[in-house]
Chain A
């Protein structure tokens, strides 16, 4: 009996056949390569960000620096490219009526789409992380790393912490996926949904730097992109990570529920 896995598998296949899929993956691949190339060609380090001053000592600092840079616009954009398009594209192609008259529930189709969008963002993140670790290690060596508490962490342990950091980074990414899905279902327009998702992320960053709104900072979605830094405290500081879980749930779950209900109840009168 077809179910969520059927929809999920076919959403992934559809992604493989679309050019825009490779735009995001290409960016995730290119950014660490460009960063390492720039380090090779130029002197200096990005000392104003966490781990920035260690990028020439340990290649494992490079993926962490990239996580900070990527949270500004790269990953919201890469995530929005698919999450914002995955429902709206069905409207554009007029294919909702085609798939809604088959034997699969709308709910299963929605779940397949949501999982596919999250998988895509995770794949892009994994790609960027892997390339950054390999390229960084080639450039600066697979060396131990100094944590945010000032302790030296062995290279294998640091690699594990980098992996955990990327995993925690997925939490706010999942919320961005949910926002993208909501805008995709609501606007029925890919461009509007992609830009809207990106603008939402940028707006939160703007709120975070506005004077007088500092108290809001811990509860902004964009702040949660830094929660992984808790892994590099001694002992591990779980506070930002736990906060990321519930803050992101507060942003993501209502958006996901809204997108689901719109998808479930909508009239398919066009196409």
Chain B
């Protein structure tokens, strides 16, 4: 391992299957301590990228390194300190949950076997450890996958849709677990469709679509770039809308007694003053921060950038 090498560094990763370009020049850098969200619609190239990182598939071009080690060059030695799963974790259905972990611990060597009991407790599978995995629910297999990853004592944990199949309580527990692992110094690369969870958990994100990275950076920076929009409830929405358009508010949409728009703070100030001057009652003014989901859809939906979606029941007027 090179001193100071980031847990994940991918440069120009390409994977082509015949005429299909699954991953097209992906660059990723996950730094130590990151909880890094990897977002993209189905078929965007997330899982293919993760498989290349783990050395499961050979890149057509480019290089992926884990702690400075290339799995294509160093084989399993590149995976030291790395654990996780891509898509659903898979196990031998005819073996018990415990036997599966014992097998994987034997394949890992070291003290992995001594962690089995602790990890089965941690993922709440201690009671079912003697049952065959073939009888497990999807969520239980998901939790067994986490346990299988943690017995490696990873410094980098790669999780592909870890919430799939989990009930709400399971999802909550997963978030708690990821936070705890991060607080213990484990770097987490998390692929997920749960935008709210990624926004809540991750400090950095990459958004991929059609094999290409569309955004990579800090979540906070990303949200700032989207700006803020407002919802105002007034006594005369039609008149308020006319005032708003006159003042050049962005993306004005009206529905019921509410008006939604984007504007700078100075423009909002002028807009409210104007409403009052014209005798229009302002009942509520609510600022709303753009969410990761907003950006995700702006970047990944066909047609490129789209204005922020109107609230249910609102009609775009610009």
Contacts and interface: CB of A to CB of B under 8 A. Distances in A.
A116 to B, nearest CB: 13
B108 A267 contact: no
B76 interface: yes
A105 B75 contact: yes
B92 A271 contact: no
Interface in A220-271: 265, 267-269, 271
A199 B99 CA distance: 35
Contacts of B309: none
5 contacts: A17-B94, A93-B91, A94-B90, A98-B148, A101-B54
A101 B75 contact: no
A6 B110 CA distance: 13
Interface residues of B, number: 35
Contact of A93 (B90, B103, B106, B109): B90
B103 A10 contact: yes
Contact of A14 (B79, B86, B92): B92
Interface in B106-129: 106-110
Given A1-B109, A97-B86, A267-B56, A102 B94 contact: no
B80 A101 contact: no
B109 A98 contact: no
Nearest to A268: B56
B106 A10 contact: yes
B109 A17 contact: no
Interface of B: 48, 51, 54-58, 75-76, 79-80, 82-95, 99, 103-104, 106-110, 148, 152
A18 interface: yes
A94 B91 CA distance: 8
Contacts of A17: 92, 94-95, 99
A102 B107 contact: yes
A103 B56 contact: no
Given A97-B90, A104-B108, A268-B56, 4 more contacts: A6-B109, A94-B90, A98-B90, A98-B148
A100 B56 contact: yes
A271 B76 contact: no
Nearest to B158: A101
B188 to A, nearest CB: 16
Contact of B76 (A13, A94, A104): A104
Nearest to B57: A267
B84 A101 contact: yes
Grouping DSSP codes into helix (H, G, I), strand (E, B) and loop, the B interface class, with mixed when no group exceeds half, is loop
A101 B104 CA distance: 10
Contact of A106 (B75, B80, B90, B106): B75
A99 B57 contact: no
A119 to B, nearest CB: 18
Given A98-B148, A267-B57, A268-B57, A2 B95 contact: no
B8 to A, nearest CB: 14
Contacts of B108: 2, 102-104
A1 B80 CA distance: 13
Given A17-B95, A95-B91, A98-B148, A104 B107 contact: yes
Contacts of A271: 87, 90
A231 B50 CA distance: 58
B85 A98 contact: yes
Contact of A99 (B48, B51, B99, B107): B107
Given A6-B106, A101-B56, A103-B79, A269 B51 contact: yes
Nearest to B134: A93
Contacts of B148: 98
A18 B107 CA distance: 20
A-B pairs, 4 with minimum CB distance? A94-B90, A102-B107, A267-B57, A268-B56
Interface string A79-113: 00000000000000111011111111110000000
